């Protein structure tokens, strides 16, 4: 939200060193392709709270998250917000059919992305069906998550929502090499509420309730899973 202080590294970075090399779209490219691909993207840094792109903006770039966490959200005209997902390293953002982004994205904490101009990226894909296949895989994975989240939003109670969120978030961090039972929550309570279709008060109360029951411990910027089994029972998978 503060005035944009975007840093662009002119070059001096290499895909082969990239932290998300194995999990991102680029995992579909071989060494030779990667060298060519390297020239298409530039690393860009965003400070906490900065907006990377907004809903309805014309799409000029695609983004590969390298580091940090982003919130992806849509706003109703009256200001109500729904967070449609959190992006983590390896996630690929910006695909759409309309030529405009269909959600907004901003940085939660410091974020590094690999930014690709739309046209050259599109041209590069033309001749690399395996890259297209990889992008398609990521889209299908997102779609599956989106459907799971619809179930959560439409059919689960507040307790279930929060418990399911904590387990799912932990699972994603584990897949990226996180720790076992201390779960960092870089997003605010308001973000969590807007993700789960609740109010900030309900989220706060539910956290407190879970803590009172010995299921979790509330820490600064996260929680500790004291009784994973109990949380799983609440999530009622």
| Interface ranges with its own copies (CB under 8 A) | 74, 76-78, 80-82, 84, 95-98, 102-103, 129, 132-133, 135-137, 139-144, 146-151, 153-156, 194, 196-197, 236-237
Residue 82: name its binding partner from DNA, its own copies, none (Cβ under 5 to 8 Å by kind).
its own copies
- DSSP per position, 222-234: EEEES-HHHHHHH
Is 69:91 a contact under the CB 8 Å cutoff?
no
- Show Cβ contacts of residue 9 under 8 Å, excluding neighbours closer than 6 positions: 42, 43, 44, 45
Residue 44 or 162 with smaller CB distance to its own copies = 162
Q: Does 144 bind DNA (CB under 7 A)?
A: no
- Minimum distance of its own copies from residue 157's CB (angstroms): 10
Q: Residues 51, 60, 199, 228: which binds DNA (CB under 7 A)?
A: 199
Distances (CA, A) of 38 to 34, 114, 203: 6, 10, 43
Give the phi and the psi of residue 137 in degrees, each rounded to 5.
Answer: -60, -45
Residue with Cβ nearer DNA (12 or 79)? 79
Q: Which long-range contacts (CB under 8 A, 24 or more apart) does 134-143 make?
A: 134/25, 134/27, 134/28, 135/25, 135/92, 135/95, 138/25, 138/91, 138/92, 139/95, 142/85
Q: 38 or 73: whose CB is closer to its own copies?
A: 73
234 by Cβ neighbours in 10 Å (0-12 / 13-18 / 19+) ranks as: buried
| Residue number, 7 or 136, with CB nearest to its own copies | 136
205 touches DNA (CB under 7 A): yes
- Residue 197 binding DNA, by CB under 7 A: yes
For 138, the token pair is 């990521």
Output 184 or 197, the one with its CB closest to its own copies: 197
Contacted by 74, from DNA, its own copies, none: CB < 5 to 8 Å by type: its own copies
Say which entry of its own copies, DNA, none residue 189 contacts (CB below 5 to 8 A, set by partner kind).
DNA
């Amino acid at each position: 939200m503060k005035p944009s202080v975007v840093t662009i590294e002119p070059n001096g970075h290499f895909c082969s060193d990239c932290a998300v090399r194995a999990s991102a779209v680029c995992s579909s490219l071989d060494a030779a392709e990667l060298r060519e691909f390297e020239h298409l993207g530039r690393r860009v840094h965003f400070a906490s709270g900065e907006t990377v792109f907004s809903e309805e903006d014309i799409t000029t770039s695609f983004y590969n998250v390298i580091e940090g966490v982003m919130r992806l959200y849509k706003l109703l005209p009256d200001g109500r917000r729904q967070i449609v997902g959190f992006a983590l390293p390896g996630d690929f953002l910006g695909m759409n059919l309309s030529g405009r982004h269909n959600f907004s994205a901003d940085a939660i904490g410091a974020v590094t992305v690999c930014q690709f101009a739309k046209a050259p990226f599109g041209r590069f894909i033309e001749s690399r069906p395996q890259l297209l296949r990889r992008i398609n895989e990521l889209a299908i994975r997102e779609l599956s998550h989106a459907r799971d989240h619809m179930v959560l939003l439409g059919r689960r109670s507040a307790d279930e929502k929060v418990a399911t969120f904590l387990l799912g978030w932990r699972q994603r961090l584990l897949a990226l090499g996180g720790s076992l039972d201390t779960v960092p929550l870089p997003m605010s309570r308001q973000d969590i509420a807007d993700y789960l279709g609740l109010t900030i008060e309900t989220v706060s109360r539910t956290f407190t309730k879970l803590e009172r029951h010995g299921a979790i411990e509330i820490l600064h910027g996260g929680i500790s899973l004291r009784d994973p089994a109990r949380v799983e029972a609440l999530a009622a998978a």
